[in-house]
């Protein structure tokens, strides 16, 4: 048995998410089907984690096993992309890995990026690639709020009701916020995230930056561990899985 890792870029707009579901097209099912066709055997694709409907990936990571060795990885990569590119899905790289490698459980850090267009006009070139907010946001206040999210905490406030993680405790290693000409990028780094955690945190940071909340209220919501107090989650279209570090 041979194990291979693939790095994947995709636009999530027209998918129900990464994970195979009965209610529509998933990225996992699309790639798995094409792999099985090319390798002429049933293949199971394992991702580093699920991304929700509408969420994009700059570099998702996954692995699969094959009974036979792939002789020419470059040729295989080109063939695979031939069947995927029309769906705005690209395999960036494929490499042979040790059988002990696991796309999900071997991951040391995951990096997500959220994009906000803070300007009067809607984006055209980057339509469906960010959250358009007209009201001017206070980025410095957003940065002060982000500091309160760092470290090991109970993130129950930011956890979707459908999240099946065993524990709400997560360690937020870093949050970086940069703003250039009305484009705000927020990068989150942690070993793992709860379902809708990033989008929920962004929603609360937006309330803070709009001055609907002050820092005292933001901190109170965080410490409450009550989902009902969370601001509405940011839309999926602004979220990108940027990188998985092993």
Residue in 52, 65, 74, 138 annotated catalytic? 52
d(CA 74, CA 72): 6
For residue 212, the 8-state DSSP code is S
Residues 6+ apart with CB under 8 A from 2: 65, 66, 67, 68, 69, 70, 96
> Which residue from 166, 147, 60, 153 is spatially nearest to 103, judged by alpha carbons?
60
Angle between helices 139-147 and 215-224 (to 10 degrees): 40
Q: Any catalytic annotation for residue 52?
A: yes
Residues 96/110, Cβ–Cβ less than 8 Å: no
R_g of the chain, CA atoms, integer Å: 19
d(CA 31, CA 19): 11
Active site residues: 52
């Amino acid at each position: 048995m041979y194990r291979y890792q693939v790095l994947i870029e995709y636009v999530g707009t027209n998918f129900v998410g990464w994970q195979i579901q009965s209610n529509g097209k998933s990225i996992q099912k699309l790639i798995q089907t094409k792999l099985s066709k090319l390798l002429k055997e049933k293949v199971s694709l394992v991702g580093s984690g699920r991304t929700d409907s509408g969420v994009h990936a700059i570099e998702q990571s996954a692995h699969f096993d094959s009974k036979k060795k792939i002789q020419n990885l470059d040729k295989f990569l080109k063939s695979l992309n031939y069947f995927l590119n029309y769906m705005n899905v690209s395999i960036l790289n494929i490499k042979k890995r040790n059988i002990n490698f696991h796309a999900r459980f071997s991951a040391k850090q995951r990096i997500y990026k959220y994009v906000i267009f803070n300007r009067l006009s809607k984006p055209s070139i980057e339509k469906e690639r960010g959250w358009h907010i007209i009201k001017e946001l206070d980025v410095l206040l957003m940065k002060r709020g982000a500091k309160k999210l760092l470290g090991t905490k109970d993130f129950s406030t930011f956890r979707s009701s459908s999240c099946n993680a065993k524990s709400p405790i997560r360690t937020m290693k870093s949050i970086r916020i940069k703003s250039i000409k009305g484009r705000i990028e927020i990068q989150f780094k942690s070993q793992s995230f709860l379902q809708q955690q990033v989008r929920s945190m962004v929603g609360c940071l937006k309330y803070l930056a709009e001055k609907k909340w002050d820092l005292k209220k933001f901190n109170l919501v965080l410490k409450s561990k009550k989902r009902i107090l969370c601001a509405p989650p940011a839309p999926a279209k602004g979220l990108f899985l940027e990188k998985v570090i092993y």
